[in-house]
Amino acid sequence: MMISLDLVSDPQMRLVFFIVFGCCFIPIFALVVVCFIKLLLKQKKRVSKSKNNSTIRYLDYFGGDDNIISVTKNLSRVSVIVKDVDLVNLENIKNQGIGVMITGNTIKCSSQEFADQIKE
């Protein structure tokens, strides 16, 4: 007597297999997909909030919006012309890893991350 392990040939076993597969594996797969999508959306919101906060912080470093006359972006360099250089917090800018060079009322900053946040 030989035992057959072929589940596909027996119609009743095929039905049991599809019911078990449909009730167990498909909902688990759907739940994993939904959780992954929610995780991606939450991460995207978190990144956009942090970018908005850092842009406001950079404005404060340059003495606020009233102190800035103009901003010019050139690849990874940003030139900021300010009314009063004394209001600019150079230490905080340097602590962010931004290279700083001052010429008169123009502050030239070299940082790709900072330049990416500046929109013309």
Number of H helices, E strands in the chain: 4, 4
- Using one digit for the tens of pLDDT, what is the confidence trace for 45-96? 766 655 555 555 778 888 888 988 988 888 888 899 999 999 998 888 888 8
For residue 33, what pLDDT is reported?
93
Show Cβ contacts of residue 89 under 8 Å, excluding neighbours closer than 6 positions.
Answer: 60, 61, 62, 63
- Using one digit for the tens of pLDDT, what is the confidence trace for 14-28? 788 778 777 888 888
For residue 120, what pLDDT is reported?
46
Which pLDDT band, with edges at 50, 70 and 90, does 4 fall under? low
**34 pLDDT exceeds 90?**
yes
- pTM, two decimals, is 0.52
Kindly state the average pLDDT of the residues 27-43: 88
Q: How far apart are the first and last CA of the chain?
A: 82
Spatial strand order in the sheet of 99-103: 68-74, 77-82, 106-110, 99-103
CATH of 10-120, one of 3.40.50.10140, 3.30.1360.60, 3.40.50.720, 3.40.50.880: 3.30.1360.60
